[in-house]
Chain A
Amino acid sequence: MRWVIGALGIGLLGWGAVLLLPVALDNPFSLGGWLVGGPVLHDAVLAPAVGVGGVLIARVLPKPWRAPVGAGLVVSGILVVLAVPYLWRAYSGPVTPGLHDRPYLAGLLIALAVVWAVVVVSGLVAGRRRGNTPAAS
């Protein structure tokens, strides 16, 4: 079973490389940058930032607030990533009627406000629940 999956994978990989070769020859730097950029930015910038953020949260925040704030930061980060192609449009085509014409910055801010409202409520609920347990008194 493993060998079948592996062989199929190597076949698809090879076919992808064949299809990609002309693109790589035409635009080596643009393609290479987009291929290598993801792992490099993730390993060198994003993941360390997440790690430091987690440590800081655990050191600074009281226990009931750690999970809500951590989760809120994760969800916020994802929403910001999804908003980037709409907010930074240096390389985009013209905006046409009905497409890409939403108020994206306002929309992002509203979504973030909803996320952080949930964070605050979750933190307060977790704090109260903790306050009610005998162990905490």
Chain B
Amino acid sequence: MKPPVRPPQETDFTSPTHGPRVSARIGLWLGIAFGLCFATGLLSHGIQHPAAWFTWPSRPVNLYRITQGVHVTSGVAAIPLLLAKLWSVYPKLFGRPVVRSVPHALERGSIFVLIAASFFELLTGVFNVAQNYPWAFFFPTAHYAVAYVATGALLVHIAVKLPVIREALTRTTEEPKPATGALSRRGFLLTTGGAAGAAVLATVGGTVPWLRDVSVLGSRSATGVPVNRRAEAAGVSTADSTWRLRVGDAEFTLDELRAMPQTTAELPIACVEGWSASATWTGVRVADLLDRAGVPAGSAVRVDSLEKDGLYRSTTLPGTHTADPLTLLALRMDGATLTLDHGYPCRLIAPSRPGVLQTKWVSRLEVL
């Protein structure tokens, strides 16, 4: 005889992979991943849209490469952690009555907001890393705003659940429950950790050089310095002999730049989308150019590109970076003249700076 068909109830879920002991542990890992994501995301936002009080150091040269690598990697790791966390509490979805009281309704509502915002951040994040935009809104604005929603809802959730979390994490003895599905409690936790590890391993080679071949789902190729925006897409063609670099009120021809003292440095391009690539750059120090043009050392400048439009045709280079002797207007990359796609005749390359702000096809440094 077939049992009567009815919707599932909270008590139907007998697997030991549900419940506070699992939930609190995975929640702790997930909270750490979200915290890292939020903090490094705020840093990246601050560098690109600096408030008056905000300064970002130019050293160590890999600083932005690391913070943004952590941002994308902790987001990737959070995907299996979020799914495992939701599985651990899935029976609660079927708790009845749906709403017991006004506080209970608010709590359930806040959890819906938390889950919606969490999925939004992680999914739009991995799509954006692939430069794939199946939405109509502007990604940076939405991703930034929802980050506050997710973090706020997470803090509310932690505040509500703090006693449960504390009990679940400190209780040491509990009768072992047999696995009723595929996995025991321990097996579920190990699987979650394994899935997070596999997700990281499959993608982190986008920024960690020695994992480049292992990360089959990384955003960049195993070799070479990626080009984010081709000259053709930017509407830039090879500059002719009439090209001049304007620095303040002074002008330099390409031959004059080549005749100036050259500095060679290994510096990374570290993209906001999490990939990075080191190259050996040769060119003129921005500090030397400003000095020749009679501009006070440590002035902030606006860097203009030959690009006619585009979000990043003009960027601000703060004084911390113009004063750094490793901030270059590069004429050469890895021993050869810059290709047009990499920014010929010259491009900005500064230590610890988001890739989108490493302006290519530079035409002008305007003192701010």
- Give me the interface of A with B, judged by CB distance under 8 Å: 1-3, 5-6, 8-17, 19-20, 22-23, 26-27, 29-31, 34-39, 42-43, 46-47, 50-51, 53-55, 57-58, 61, 66-67, 69-71, 73-75, 78-79, 81-83, 85-86, 88-94, 96-102, 104, 106-108, 110-111, 115
Cβ contact within 8 Å between B203 and A5: no
B65-82 residues at the A interface, CB under 8 angstroms: 76, 79-80
Can you list 26 contacts pairing A with B, beta carbon distance less than 8 Å? A5-B158, A5-B159, A6-B156, A9-B151, A10-B156, A12-B151, A13-B152, A20-B145, A26-B137, A30-B137, A38-B123, A39-B119, A43-B90, A47-B86, A55-B181, A70-B187, A71-B187, A78-B83, A82-B202, A85-B126, A97-B341, A99-B131, A100-B131, A100-B219, A102-B222, A107-B217
Interface residues of chain B: helix, strand, loop or mixed (majority): helix
8 Å CB contact of B202 from A20, A31, A79: A79
Asked if B127 is an interface residue, CB under 8 A from chain A, the answer is yes
How far, in whole Å, are A27 and B135 apart by their CA atoms in the complex?
9
> What residues on B are CB-neighbors of A102 within 8 Å?
216-218, 220-222
How far, in whole Å, are A13 and B111 apart by their CA atoms in the complex?
12
Cβ contact within 8 Å between A50 and B145: no
> What residues on B are CB-neighbors of A82 within 8 Å?
76, 79, 126, 199, 202-203, 217
- Give me the interface of B with A, judged by CB distance under 8 Å: 13, 15, 76, 79-80, 83, 86-87, 90, 93, 112-113, 115-120, 123-124, 126-127, 129-138, 141-142, 144-160, 162, 179-184, 187, 190-192, 194-195, 198-199, 202-203, 216-230, 233, 275, 277, 341
The winner among B112, B149, B217 for most chain A CB atoms within 10 A is B217
